[in-house]
Amino acid sequence: MTTVLTYGTFDLFHIGHVRLLSRLAELGDELVVGVSTDEFNALKGKTSIISYADRAEIVSAVRHVDKVIPENGWEQKRQDLIDHGVDVFAMGSDWQGKFDDLSDLCEIRYLDRTDGISSTKLKEQLSDPVSLDVDRVREALDTLQQVVDNYRGLR
């Protein structure tokens, strides 16, 4: 059995997140996702619109995800790789090379991001209604609604 681990904030869950999680799941048999806590995001200088509890619940509702764990700090990654028997540690390409020091424990992979979408970009668009791309927001909201509907169907 091949276990894959990734981390992320997953704020304003969008199609890029869905596509990344799908590609990550294809790398193995089990996908473990570390979702950054609100406290850790604050240490990174980030603010999430959606709370950690809600972001973790949204990510856990994605069919590609087998387990969600809290990401509390940078230093936990090495221990998480050991604790979860990880074979592949994978992140988005924006992190290229940043986690190569963990290659003594498992394979390290960096996957391309989905062009044209990110939570940061969505926040920027939402804060400036003049430049708001209504179609993109509509697409993001539709994706979020699908995730919620799928989650409700699992209950």
Q: What's the 3-state SS for 82-148?
A: HHCCCCEEEEEHHHCCCCHHHCCCCEEEEECCCCCCCHHHHHHHHHCHHHCCHHHHHHHHHHHHHHH
* pLDDT for res 12: 79
123 noted as active-site residue = no
* pLDDT for res 105: 97
Amino acid sitting at position 126: L
Domain extent at residue 15: 3-154
67 noted as active-site residue = no
* pLDDT for res 123: 53
Give the chain's residues under pLDDT 70.
114-134, 154-155
| CATH code for the domain of 80 | 3.40.50.620
* pLDDT for res 126: 58
The Cα–Cα gap between 100 and 123 comes to 30
* Under 8 Å between Cβ of 85 and 52: no
* Under 8 Å between Cβ of 94 and 8: no
Which pTM does this prediction carry? 0.74
Indicate which residue of 44, 67, 77, 98 is catalytic: 44
The domain total for the chain is 1
* pLDDT for res 128: 63
